[in-house]
């Protein structure tokens, strides 16, 4: 039986068809998504949200073809109501509230929704041996999740815990953050280059931008050390698009956090899709 996983990002829509028998993704597709300009008013947001839902369904229909799915799991970049299947919207994505159970009723199956970082954490938890770890997804934004595993369950930290981690990640004297997004690192590089280049361009030109990467890693380390004082984190997993470029920063990161076990998500950016299709096994 097949299950559909959807990873909604600010710059892409990830679709994956998971085969329960083979226990793997048998088909996947990442669709670039160009966000509209960030003009926030109710009328504009309502129109954009309706267009987004229509666009998303069109892409799903094309991806699935005649394939029927047992259920749909969705990872969203922001707040959700997991019981009702509602996504509260995202400024980064420029969409408003979406009731996915209602909007996806045409597929005649159950629909599960959670935060995209939680989905990535669940996807990673299925493929590592750690009883407890801290998930950091780095892409257009930054996501945090705390996972604890038992023999039959995957337990996620409550929202209050994640909100506290988000607060600890803020630098007290500015609006800046310690652990920043891949997008933010890219923006610093683009300012230097005086042009708009894709996110990965900084790593393609890493030799000439060692200082920017080094500063980013220094802030990351400071953020982990601050969070660690309260939550005693040892195992730290890095996921999201940033995880694909580990050769440019991983050694430096592990050297600066010698008391921690830093590792990259085994399925890299696919962890979000894999976790989405396994949301029914998640328990708080």
SS3 202: helix
The 10s digit of each residue's pLDDT in 93-134 is 889 999 999 999 999 999 999 999 999 999 999 889 999 999
Domain 2-119+271-283 falls under CATH 3.40.50.720:
no
CA distances from 139 to 5, 13, 33, 71, 82 (A): 19, 13, 14, 27, 23
Return the higher-pLDDT residue of 45 and 15: 15
Q: Which of 62-76, 140-154, 211-225, 236-250 has the lowest mean pLDDT?
A: 140-154
Is residue 90 a contact partner of residue 235, using CB atoms and an 8 Å limit? no
Place of tokens 């980013």: 216
Structure tokens at 217: 């890693």
Give the strand pairing for 12-19 and 2-8.
antiparallel
Confidence tier at 20 by pLDDT (50, 70, 90): confident
Give percent of the chain above pLDDT 70.
97
Is residue 176 a contact partner of residue 199, using CB atoms and an 8 Å limit? no
| Dist. CA 7–CA 269, nearest whole Å | 9
Q: How many helices (H) and strands (E) does the chain have?
A: 9, 14
Domain boundaries, the chain: 2-119+271-283, 128-265
**Same fold: 2-119+271-283 with 128-265:** yes
Q: What is the pLDDT, as a whole number, of residue 284?
A: 38
Give the strand pairing for 86-87 and 98-99.
antiparallel
Confidence tier at 213 by pLDDT (50, 70, 90): very high
Is residue 1 a contact partner of residue 10, using CB atoms and an 8 Å limit? no
Q: What is the pLDDT, as a whole number, of residue 282?
A: 58
The 10s digit of each residue's pLDDT in 53-91 is 999 999 999 999 999 999 999 999 989 999 999 999 988
pLDDT mean over 147-170: 90
CA distances from 143 to 47, 131, 164 (A): 27, 20, 13
Confidence tier at 150 by pLDDT (50, 70, 90): confident
Average pLDDT over the chain, rounded to an integer: 92
Q: At residue 151, does pLDDT exceed 80?
A: no
How is domain 128-265 classified at the CATH fold level?
A: Nucleotidyltransferase; domain 5 (3.30.420)
Burial track 110-134 (b if 16+ CB lie within 10 A, e otherwise): bbbbbbbbbbbbbbbbbeeebeebb
Return the higher-pLDDT residue of 244 and 38: 244
């Amino acid at each position: 039986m097949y299950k559909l996983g959807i990873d909604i990002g600010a710059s892409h829509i990830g679709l994956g068809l998971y085969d329960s028998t083979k226990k793997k993704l048998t088909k996947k597709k990442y669709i670039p998504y160009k966000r509209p300009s960030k003009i926030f008013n109710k009328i504009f947001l309502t129109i954009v949200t309706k267009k987004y839902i229509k666009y998303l369904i069109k892409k799903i229909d094309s991806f699935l073809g005649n394939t029927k799915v047992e259920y749909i799991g969705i990872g969203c970049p922001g707040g959700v109501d997991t019981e009702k299947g509602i996504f509260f919207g995202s400024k980064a994505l420029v969409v408003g509230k979406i009731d996915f159970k209602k909007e996806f009723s045409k597929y005649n199956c159950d629909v599960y929704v959670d935060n995209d970082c939680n989905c990535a954490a669940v996807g990673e938890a299925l493929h590592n041996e750690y009883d407890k770890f801290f998930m950091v997804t780095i892409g257009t934004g930054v996501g945090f999740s705390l996972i604890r595993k038992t023999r039959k369950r995957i337990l996620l930290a409550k929202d209050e815990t994640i909100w506290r981690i988000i607060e600890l990640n803020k630098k007290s004297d500015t609006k800046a953050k310690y652990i920043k997004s891949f997008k933010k690192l890219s923006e610093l590089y683009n300012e230097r280059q005086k042009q708009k280049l894709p996110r990965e361009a900084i790593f393609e030109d890493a030799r000439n931008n060692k200082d920017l990467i080094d500063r980013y890693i220094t802030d990351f380390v400071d953020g982990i050390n601050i969070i660690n004082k309260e939550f005693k984190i040892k195992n730290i997993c890095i996921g999201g698009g940033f995880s694909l470029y580990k050769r440019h920063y991983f050694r430096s990161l592990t050297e600066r956090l010698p008391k921690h076990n830093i590792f990259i998500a085994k399925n890299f950016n696919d962890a979000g899709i894999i976790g989405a299709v396994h949301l029914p096994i998640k328990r708080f």
